């Protein structure tokens, strides 16, 4: 029978099975009870098969005994337990496998890397000082300007003439002056 504590019991038979295959830390981590059911290691009390890992260190699992067949494949990211987790990208070959496009895990003979792959590689800048910050972000340099623009989107008030400007007065009076400062023509 399946129960919460026993599925991967500490120092139980399943623990040692994982320890032998994946090491001590992995065996401890996979015993965590707050993991989602399907990640904990299968619907039944048996060990779920690690199908493989990709170049980023992500691990791919498959469990055919799972009650929902559309969630039978899953990924554990390489940095699952770090403080600042970043979703590392999934290798293109494994992506297809994970989304049930094909059933065989990618190997050299059944998967050809697309030619465009290197060009489209994204550099993840999360937690990096140069990372993208949205315009209203507290740390964005142009935040003040953005807030001003947001206000101007509603309306900007009329800028009435102040006393200091030459154009002020009762009317807009324009004077044309020659180089000596004599008023040649007065337009209104």
Q: What are phi and psi of 13, to 5 degrees?
A: -60, -35
d(CA 178, CA 157): 36
Residues 156, 179, 182, 183: which binds other proteins (CB under 8 A)?
Answer: 156
Distances (CA, A) of 163 to 90, 142, 151, 157, 186: 66, 33, 27, 18, 21
- Is residue 187 involved in binding other proteins (CB under 8 A)? yes
d(CA 80, CA 39): 12
Residues 170, 179, 183, 184: which binds other proteins (CB under 8 A)?
Answer: 170
- Is residue 182 involved in binding other proteins (CB under 8 A)? no
- Is residue 152 involved in binding other proteins (CB under 8 A)? yes
- Is residue 155 involved in binding other proteins (CB under 8 A)? yes
Burial of 74 (0-12, 13-18, 19+ CB in 10 A): middle
- Is residue 172 involved in binding other proteins (CB under 8 A)? yes
- Is residue 168 involved in binding other proteins (CB under 8 A)? yes
Query: Which one of the spans 56-64, 106-114, 133-141, 151-159 is the region binding other proteins (CB under 8 A)?
Result: 151-159
Residue nearer to other proteins on the CB measure, 34 or 158: 158
The set of residues, in sequence order, having a beta carbon less than 8 Å from that of 38 and lying 6+ positions away, is 63, 66, 68, 71, 72, 74
- Is residue 161 involved in binding other proteins (CB under 8 A)? yes
Report CA torsion sign: 103, 107, 109, 113. positive
Query: Which one of the spans 28-36, 83-91, 126-134, 174-182 is the region binding other proteins (CB under 8 A)?
Result: 174-182
| Tokens coding 120 | 């489209």
Residues 171, 178, 180, 184: which binds other proteins (CB under 8 A)?
Answer: 171
- Is residue 120 involved in binding other proteins (CB under 8 A)? no
Interface residues with other proteins (CB under 8 A) are 152-163, 167-172, 174-177, 187-188
């Amino acid at each position: 029978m399946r129960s919460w504590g026993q599925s991967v019991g500490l120092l139980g038979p399943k623990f040692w099975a994982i320890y032998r295959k994946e090491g001590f830390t992995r065996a401890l981590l996979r015993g965590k009870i707050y993991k989602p059911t399907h990640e904990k290691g299968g619907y039944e009390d048996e060990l779920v098969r690690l199908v493989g890992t990709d170049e980023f260190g992500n691990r791919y699992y498959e469990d055919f005994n799972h009650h929902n067949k559309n969630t039978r494949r899953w990924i554990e990211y390489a940095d699952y337990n770090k403080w600042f987790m970043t979703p590392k990208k999934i290798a293109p070959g494994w992506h297809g496998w994970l989304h049930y496009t094909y059933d065989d895990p990618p190997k050299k003979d059944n998967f050809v890397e697309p030619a465009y792959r290197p060009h489209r590689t994204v550099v993840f800048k999360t937690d990096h000082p140069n990372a993208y910050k949205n315009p209203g972000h507290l740390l964005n340099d142009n935040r003040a300007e953005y807030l001003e623009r947001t206000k101007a989107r509603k309306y900007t008030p009329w800028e009435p003439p102040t006393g200091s400007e030459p154009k002020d007065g009762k009317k807009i009076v324009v004077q044309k002056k020659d180089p000596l400062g004599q008023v040649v023509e007065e337009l209104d």
